[in-house]
Structure 1
Amino acid sequence: MELKRVVVTGLGALTPIGNNVPDFWEGLTNGVSGAAPIKGFNTEKFKTKFACEVKNFNPEDFLEKKEARKLDPFVQYALVATDEAVKDGGFDFEKLDTNRIGVIWGAGIGGLKTFLDEISNFAKGDGTPRYNPFFIPKMIIDIAPGHISIKYGLRGPNFATVSACASSTNAMIDAFNYIRLGMADVIISGGSEAIINEAGMGGFNAMHALSTRNDDPSTASRPFDKDRDGFVAGEGAGTIILEELEHAKARGAKIYAELVGGGMSADANHITAPHPDGLGARMVMTNALKDAGLTTSDIDYINVHGTSTPLGDISETKAIATLFGEDAYKLNISSTKSMTGHLLGAAGAIEAIAVILAVKNDIIPPTINHFTDDPAFDPKLNFTFNKAQKRTVRAALSNTFGFGGHNASVIFKKYEA
């Protein structure tokens, strides 16, 4: 069976450094940090008092007030980013077969704010279970693709993927496979997350996973820097619309890039710590390259998972060095989490958008906040520190790794007719 080609025809983003794709890309290429003191709740007694929140966002600018109240923020973010992507792609669903258009969405945690609010209200009461009837439908992760499909009348494959921080990359891989196997023409894919609240920040603080650089939030996310001390929490959404090539050409769609491969693997090592030698990370990149029919010499850029944790950055770099060998020195490597923070289940989606735009525009976004070299990293590797770099990007790889040892990678390349 000949596999169909899959291209990217629509993008949408709601991020800590830009509330749409053009602003997001401008923030990335200019090295803007999205980290700042948290405004969403009182952080006085919290170890970490900052995060990468979405800024200047009012859901009622996009959704009716009554509708917005029924949606957890992670679903609000999903709908807003998808609205941008649908408009960007020039889709008129009334002229398309919506039975062959689906939604596959990723989130790692989902409606945490809704869960927190409802349980807190119950705990303050007299024990009578007075729960909001929208409690469960607001909270569950699969409600995001459900709302997207309902809004546009899309009756194709519809479900959510959950693999912690790899969730939205797994969603893209599933969408990619459904389309190239001929089971759908178009799939809206991506991810959203909204965990910057008392439960999210308190939980990650308890794990000692977050940076506590409260005196200098804007430089707290420091991937590959000697003084990195944990990740910075982020929130938002990214939407990538994938489409079968001939279907896209028939409707005259603009094409950003071609998705050519996806890989998955497991660390099988520890619930939160990566394999110290990067075995799972190496395997997932190997699988993605094999799926794409490419070699290490074909890749010009890797958007790494690069969370700014002491162990994770080392493990991933070991995997790249081992797999790519001498080709590793020809790569640009960068962690855009240095700017956006870590969006957990949405990270793969917004980082895929960064990769797609790098391929399209031949610009590598930087790894900002680098101050002190760490001898654990090979100084000959190009981490694209502090400033964007121009270069031809034929193909680029995006890595996402999640708690539980879940690894997922996707490869995008320049579209060639």
Structure 2
Amino acid sequence: MQLVTPNSEDCLTLNVWAPTRLPEGTKVPVVAWIFGGGFENGGTSMYDGGIIVTRSVELGKPIVYVSMNYRVSALGFLASEEVKAAGVGNIGLQDQRQALRWIQKYISVFNGDPSKVTIWGESAGAISVALQMVANGGNTEGLFHAAFMESGSPIPVGDITHGQKFHDAFVVAAGCEGSSDTLQCLREAPFATLQQAMDASPSIFSPSSLDLAWMPRVDGTFLPDDPQQLVLQGSVANIPFVSGDCDDEGTLFSLTTLNVTTEEQLRDYITSTYLPAASSSDLDKLLTLYPADITQGSPYDTGILNALSPQFKRLASLQGDLVFQGARRFFLQQQSDKQNTWSFLSKRLKGLPGLGSVHASDLLNIYGSGELTDYLVNFVNNLNPNGPTVPYWPKYTTASVQLLTFLDGLVPVAITTDTYRQEAMEFIIQLALANPL
């Protein structure tokens, strides 16, 4: 699949937006943006940090905005026995860490305070933020002191050797098959050859969907274990964080599986793609918790509408909870009594045909100068999203699982409880812990 996005071999760059006319010697908080794109595409050129900085000045809470590029696809997340042996896994995450080190060293030149850095991302960027939090035994190395995650949490991924089939196909496509040192061969290959080989690999919009060819995996170094297991082990940075989702996270990623139309096909798809070790009884229970009734599927709360195929809404619900909603709730359940946390749910654009409150739709509420922009600016300044221009956002705790929920209509914001699909999410995360991707 050809991905039409800006790309370049010379990609390890940063962008800085800073307020002008600050009093001499002023140091203001910093937000570091990590873009999304399924760990296979995207870039900083897609986002205007000036929107965030301008709003921060209007609020009287100026911040410096930094966006970082990092290697994606096979360049950043090649995975295999060879990669593991060479100790070069998760290079994309290492790039992000290095960018954070650059901020520490140089951001004061732009009136940024290196002791007040919040890392922020969406989708793969938010997953990256979460993985930076669980890496290094939870030790931030002083690189960041807060985190803001939109549609991304610690995800259930297994050993880096799980990517062997994708690595081997990439090696063949790049003309390195038979080389005595395939990694060195890949290093020396022309960028155009590598790009062509990457374009030939499965993408996030292939039938395998969220079982990505190129994504972070357990490398024994940066990620010593499944990120969700690291959470259970207490390997989490002790910093305030925000984590939220869109209501219909899975719809976008289910458009390529419209040929899955029967219960039998759905069972086969789940087994082959996500849960190869799940027992027949586990699948029975899972499909009971995520029923065929289209009125219970995603896009949620749309009744009989949006059933693009007989299993579309069901599979969208499953995939959205496995990778996004369930992962977020698991993270919050483990951490919300140990550190200050806030969570949100975006149910806007519910009328979007087929997709509903689709993955990434919340970006309109933050890069479009919506309420979420103010919450972000407040959080970056005060480690608390609340402020005089926005409705009150209560903390999330295990005793009070409150969500700030963005809605369509005359009442744009409400406080709701994070208890929907509770048994289903608990079970799907239980299966994910036993079957990391």
Same structural fold, with TM-score higher than 0.5 when normalized by the shorter chain: no
Normalising by structure 2, report the TM-score.
Answer: 0.29
**Which has the higher Rg, Structure 1 or Structure 2?**
2
Q: Higher strand proportion, which one?
A: 1
The one of the two structures with greater contact order (alpha-carbon pairs below 8 A, sep at least 6) is 1
TM-score, with length taken from structure 1: 0.30
